[in-house]
Chains A and B, each alone.
Chain A
C-alpha cells in the first residue's frame, strides 16, 4: 500500500527532527540542528536496508516517490510565500551582504571540486 511508503518517510522525517532538536538542546540553541539532513540519511539507509531484504514493494516506493515529485510545486509555493518585499527593503546592507557573501561561496566551488577529485 502507498501509505506504507508515506509512513516510512514520516518516520524518518520525525526521527531526524527529534535528533536535530536534541542536538539543539545539547548546544543550548533554540534551533533544530540538521534535522532534515539526518532525516535524509535515515531514509537513504532505511531504503538500502529494505531493498536488500527485498521488503520494498513498488507500491510502497511510489508512496515516497509521490512526495519527491511534489517537491518542485512545494518550492514554488514556498517562493510565493516569502517576504520578498522585506528582502528588497532591507536596504543596501542586506542586498550587498546577500549578494557578495553568496558570490564568495560560489567562487570556492571549483577549488573544492578539484580537491574532492584528487581525493578519489
Chain B
C-alpha cells in the first residue's frame, strides 16, 4: 500500500490524468443518461471536483497522499497555459466591438465588489480601514484579497477571510452561471466579455462559461484576467485612500 502511494505521488501528473479522465467520463455519462444533457457534463464534473476537494485540506484533494499530482494539473501554470490556448477561438474584431464598455466594466465591477464587501465587513464588526479594504478586495478575486492585505498590512486572519471570500465567489460563479446565463443575456462574445469584466474571478468565469457555452470561454476569460489586474492596482491604492478618508 505504502509503495503504491509512493509510486502514485512520484508519477503525480500522470495519475491526475487518469483520475480526472475518470471523473469526466462519469460526469458526462450522468449528464447524458440522467439529465438528457440538460445539465452540462462540464458543470457536473466541476461540482464533483469541488466535492472531492472537501475531503482534503489546503490544497483540496491534493493534500492527501497519492493525490498530489492533481495540484500540478490544476495548478496555476497549466491552468493559465490552457486558458491562453482558448484564445485561439476568439476573434479580434469581436473583442474590439466591446471597446470602452469592456474597460468600464472592469472599473465598475471592481468598485462595486469592493464597496459591497467593505460595507458588509463594517456591519459585521471589522471597522478599521485595513480590514475593510482587505475584505473588500477579497470580494474581487482571491488574488486581489491577499495582495491588497499584504500591501496595507492587514492581520493574517483578515487575509485568510479575504481568500475564503474569493474562493466562495469562484465556486458560486461556477455553479450559478449556467443557470442564469440565458436570463442575463450571456449568449454572445460581447456579453461574455462584459460578464468576465464585471464578475472577475477567472476560474469561476471560465468554469461557468464552459458549462454554459464553451465558445464564450476565451472572451469571458480575457476580461476576467484584467479584473484581477484592475483590483490589484486600485484596491491597495485609490480605494484604500478613500476608505481612510471616510473612516
Interface residue? A115 (CB, 8 A): yes
Q: Are A116 and B190 in contact (CB under 8 A)?
A: yes
Contact partner, A80, options B53, B92, B139, B214, Cβ 8 Å: B53
Interface residue? A76 (CB, 8 A): yes
Contact partner, A67, options B82, B89, B172, Cβ 8 Å: B82
Q: Are A37 and B161 in contact (CB under 8 A)?
A: no
Tally of B interface residues using CB under 8 Å: 114
| Assembled-state Cα–Cα distance A94/B36 (Å) | 35
Q: Are B85 and A84 in contact (CB under 8 A)?
A: no
Q: Are B88 and A64 in contact (CB under 8 A)?
A: yes
Interface residue? B233 (CB, 8 A): yes
| Assembled-state Cα–Cα distance A97/B85 (Å) | 32
| Assembled-state Cα–Cα distance A61/B87 (Å) | 12
Q: A29-B151, A75-B206, A80-B52 are in contact. Are A36 and B88 (CB under 8 A)?
A: no
Q: What mask results when residues 94 to 117 of chain A are scored 1 for a CB within 8 Å of chain B, else 0? A: 111111111011101110110111
| Assembled-state Cα–Cα distance A35/B163 (Å) | 20
User: Between A and B, how many residue pairs show CB distances below 8 Å?
Assistant: 321
Q: A73-B20, A84-B60, A112-B104 are in contact. Are A120 and B97 (CB under 8 A)?
A: yes
Interface residue? A18 (CB, 8 A): no
| Assembled-state Cα–Cα distance A110/B184 (Å) | 6
Q: Are B169 and A36 in contact (CB under 8 A)?
A: no
CB neighbours (8 Å) of B202 from chain A are 36
Q: Name 22 interchain pairs, CB-CB below 8 A, sorted by A.
A: A9-B81, A10-B81, A16-B84, A30-B150, A36-B84, A40-B221, A47-B88, A75-B79, A76-B45, A76-B49, A77-B16, A77-B74, A78-B203, A80-B20, A85-B54, A87-B168, A90-B168, A91-B161, A93-B120, A93-B126, A93-B135, A113-B190
| Residues in A lying within 8 Å of B, measured CB to CB | 9-10, 12-13, 16-17, 20, 23-24, 27, 29-31, 33-37, 39-41, 43-45, 47-48, 61, 64-65, 67-68, 70-102, 104-106, 108-110, 112-113, 115-117, 119-120
